[in-house]
Amino acid sequence: MQTVKMVVTGPFSAGKTEFIKSVSEIDVVSTERKISTKAEKTVKEATTVAMDFGRITVDEDLVLYLFGTPGQKRFDFMWEILSEGMLGFIVLVDSTRPETFREARSILETFRAYAPTPYVVAANKQDMNDAWELEDMRHALRLDPKVKFLSCVAMDRDSVKTILLELLYSILAEMESGEK
């Protein structure tokens, strides 16, 4: 059995668990534990402290694993470990919470520094009224025009599929350009 993996990262409460849930064929394995910090509690009642883990079986001998990174800063020692051997990564950003954009940028730059792996950035929660527009977010996140930046609703399977596909197209394009 062959396995490959992708990493889904982004700030706390960006929608990583939801994203992986939408396409995983197994229940997303994640240890939910009540976090006591007040600030975090107001955002979400329970938060994931272990990483999320989802699976998509491709055929008899190929499986894709999706790993979600723990969002909080104090778990960032896990990022480098998780990023080892990944095919590519997805950075999820909560479009309704500009206070997390700086952290999202930081996470992106940190991952970019590990390895030149293909990635896409997804503006999540675009279904919400107070979501920022993509164009504004692109500047706020300081994304180069060449970076794929896509609209996302993590609960919507089609939306998640599109993002995974765009990442795979980027991976393929890079393999092809590397051969020249």
Partner 1 sequence: MALRGNLRDFTITQLLNLINLARKTGTLVVEGPNETAQAFFREGKLAFAQIGREDTSLAHILFKANKLSAGQYKAIQQRGNSVSDKELGLLLINAGYVSQDDILANLQQYSTDVIHRLFTWVEGFFRFDNDQLPPDDRINVRLDLENLIIEGSRQLREWEQLQDEIPSLDMALKFTARPDANMRNVNLNVEEWRVVSYINPKNTIRQIGNAAKMNDLEIRRIVYGLLQAGLVEICRPEGVPIPQPVRVFPTEDKEEQKTLVNRLITRIRSL
Ligand X SMILES: Nc1nc2c(ncn2[C@@H]2O[C@H](COP(=O)(O)OP(=O)(O)O)[C@@H](O)[C@H]2O)c(=O)[nH]1
Contacts with ligand X, residue ranges (CB under 6 A) = 10, 12-18, 44, 48, 71, 124-125, 127-128, 153-155
- Tell the smallest beta-carbon distance from residue 153 to partner 1 (Å): 15
- Tell the smallest beta-carbon distance from residue 90 to ligand X (Å): 11
Q: What is the dihedral of CA 157, 52, 109, 41, to 10 degrees?
A: 100
Q: Say which entry of partner 1, ligand X, Mg ion, none residue 41 contacts (CB below 5 to 8 A, set by partner kind).
A: none
**Strand 47-48 and strand 62-68: pairing?**
unpaired
* Interface with partner 1 in residues 83-122 (CB under 8 A): 84-87, 96-103, 105-106, 109-110, 112-117
**Strand 62-68 and strand 52-59: pairing?**
antiparallel
Closest CB to partner 1 among residues 42, 129: 129
| Phi, psi angle pair for 35, to nearest 5° | -95, 135
CA 1 to chain CA centroid, nearest Å:
25
Tokens for 157, please give them.
Answer: 């399977």
Please identify which residue in 6, 8, 17, 159 interacts with Mg ion, judged by CB under 5 A: 17
Please identify which residue in 38, 74, 77, 139 interacts with partner 1, judged by CB under 8 A: 139
Q: Say which entry of partner 1, Mg ion, ligand X, none residue 175 contacts (CB below 5 to 8 A, set by partner kind).
A: partner 1
Which helix (H) or strand (E) is 110 found in, with range? helix 101-114
- Tell the smallest beta-carbon distance from residue 50 to ligand X (Å): 11
Return the bridge partners of 64, or none: 4, 56
